[in-house]
Amino acid sequence: MGTHLPSTEFDGTAVDDQREADAEAVMGEPPAQMVQLLGPDGKLGFDPVFTEYAEKVTPEVLRGLYADMAAIRRFDVEATALQRQGQLALWVPLTGQEAAQIGSGRASRPQDYIFPTYREHGVAYTRNVDLAELLRQFRGVSNGGWNPKDTNFHLYTLVLAAQTLHAVGYAMGIQRDQKLSAAHGSGEEAAVIAYFGDGASSEGDVHESMVFASSYNAPVVFFCQNNHWAISVPTNVQTRVPLSNRAKGYGFPGIRVDGNDVIAVHAVTEWALEHARQGKGPVLIEAFTYRVGAHTTADDPTKYRQSAEEDAWRAKDPLARVEKYLRAEGLADDAFFAKVKADGDELAAYVRRTTHDLETPDIRSAFANTYAEAHPLVAEELAWFEEYTAGFEGGDLPAGSSGQPAAKAGH
Ligand SMILES: Cc1ncc(C[n+]2csc(CCOP(=O)(O)OP(=O)(O)O)c2C)c(N)n1
Ligand SMILES: [Mg+2]
């Protein structure tokens, strides 16, 4: 293992995490095992622990998981287009991570409580969050967009990893309520899932969360989507060991799962939630996946990674392998896939229509709410803004300018 400091420079190691392998060799650890049931070739494998859970994914359930993944991918395309057309200020694409999100979200129960980051649109979909509502924040007309009490799906958190602390606190609350309530043992037990990224795993908040969760045996599943990038920083700079191995240091199980295998993700998450609900404490799941697109619509990944890496991951596409399996086993036909496509288009049309109908954000409210009292710097910036906007016909910003949404709904 080299003694040089980690570099954020692209070093040509492509997808493989050489640092991880080096560290394993030094510590005498076996290479990280990854739970995989449905491989990229569409063939179903076996796992001594998780096959039992995977068997609950009946053909009907699997068709549903595929339809969910296709719907959310279609939604992602539409939201990206809406941003490009000036209807949204920003979009955070999820393409590539559909299996990690749909598989884990569908393994949760209504009474479980979910703390997402800002990319969990697939999980939001499984929790029945209205996707048009979800876009309100990305248009800048809401600080949230939906009421978490309706779905037990918390608001998006943009401050990396802060939600992992909230999640552990919430889980400790559930623990205490259940101890006090007669519901314990009645099947009503709940657990919490805290989503975070490979980059966020470097935050102190994650460490503190895991220490607390372990100390108090809190019913929380830490679900890390290792999508291999934190904007332009590759995962092998964040960690020298598989992220799932970090759980050992806290004293609870850590599992690396193929995050592009919806059956394995569903099985592992179901196991972990059951473990947590039964009072056995936290679990860390590392879903090994890939962010196929840009970090956000404001990012250009061609500046920091090579297309060969993207191509290698496209070959592991989460939807393609399910389609292969369903067709090979005679579990779905052309009519099924045509219906899934039509449903996706209908969802996209709904989202587009609803977004166009949303109000125009009032940028002036951002100035008004910066400080409680008047502030000379804010006043100066507002004056500049007023002068700038006065330069446009009608005194409003044109669609897409300054990265802001369209000035008039319906443009
Ligand atoms: C505390 C904090 N630091 C920095 C940022 C800026 N930031 C936003 S997203 C991001 C990368 C996060 O990467 P990762 O956790 O891997 O999640 P991903 O975006 O890949 O889903 C950074 C550094 C932030 N939002 N919050
Ligand atoms: Mg990441």
In a shared domain, residues 376 and 298: no
Catalytic (active site) residue 256? no
Tens-binned pLDDT, residue by residue, of the chain (411 aa): 444 544 444 444 444 556 666 666 666 666 678 999 999 999 999 999 999 999 999 999 999 999 999 999 999 999 999 999 999 999 999 999 999 999 999 999 999 999 999 999 999 999 999 999 999 999 999 988 899 999 999 999 999 999 999 999 999 999 998 765 655 566 789 999 999 999 999 999 999 999 999 999 999 999 999 999 999 999 999 998 999 999 999 999 999 999 999 999 999 999 999 999 999 999 999 999 999 999 999 999 999 999 999 999 999 999 999 999 999 999 999 999 999 999 999 999 999 999 999 988 888 888 988 899 999 999 999 999 999 989 887 766 554 444 333 333 322
Catalytic residue of the set 266, 295, 321, 352: 295
Q: What is the pLDDT of residue 409?
A: 32
Catalytic (active site) residue 295? yes
Is 12 domain-assigned? Answer: no
In a shared domain, residues 253 and 389: no
Catalytic (active site) residue 304? yes
Catalytic residue of the set 73, 275, 291, 321: 291
- Residue bearing tokens 């796992």: 47
Q: What is the pLDDT of residue 392?
A: 85
Is 306 domain-assigned? Answer: yes
Shortest CA distance to 226 belongs to which of 175, 263, 188, 260? Answer: 260
CATH code of the domain containing 198? 3.40.50.970
Q: What is the pLDDT of residue 215?
A: 97
Integer Cα distance of 84 and 323 in angstroms: 30
Q: What is the pLDDT of residue 22?
A: 66
- Which two structure tokens, joined as six digits, stand for 73? 């991918």
Q: What is the pLDDT of residue 8?
A: 46
Q: What atom of ligand 1 comes closest to residue 162's alpha carbon?
A: 1
In a shared domain, residues 95 and 154: yes
Q: What is the pLDDT of residue 397?
A: 59
Q: What atom of ligand 1 comes closest to residue 92's alpha carbon?
A: 19
Q: What is the pLDDT of residue 359?
A: 87
Is 142 domain-assigned? Answer: yes
From its phi and psi, is residue 50 left (phi > 0), alpha (psi between -120 and 50) or beta? alpha
Q: What is the CB neighbour count within 10 angstroms for residue 363?
A: 16
Is 7 domain-assigned? Answer: no
Q: What atom of ligand 1 comes closest to residue 159's alpha carbon?
A: 26
Lining residues, ligand 1, CB within 6 Å: 119, 158-160, 197-200, 227, 229-231, 291, 295
In a shared domain, residues 52 and 174: yes
Shortest CA distance to 8 belongs to which of 382, 304, 334, 341? Answer: 304
Q: How far is CA 295 from CA 95, 176, 262, 377, in A?
A: 10, 38, 22, 32
In a shared domain, residues 87 and 170: yes
Instruction: Indicate the top mutation candidate among 117, 160, 207 to test ligand 1's pocket, ranked by most ligand atoms within 8 A of CB.
Output: 160
Q: Identity (one letter) of the amino acid at 266?
A: H
- Please state the pTM of the whole predicted model: 0.90
Q: What is the pLDDT of residue 335?
A: 98
Q: Which domain holds residue 274?
A: 18-355
Q: How many domains does the chain contain in total?
A: 2
Integer Cα distance of 240 and 55 in angstroms: 34
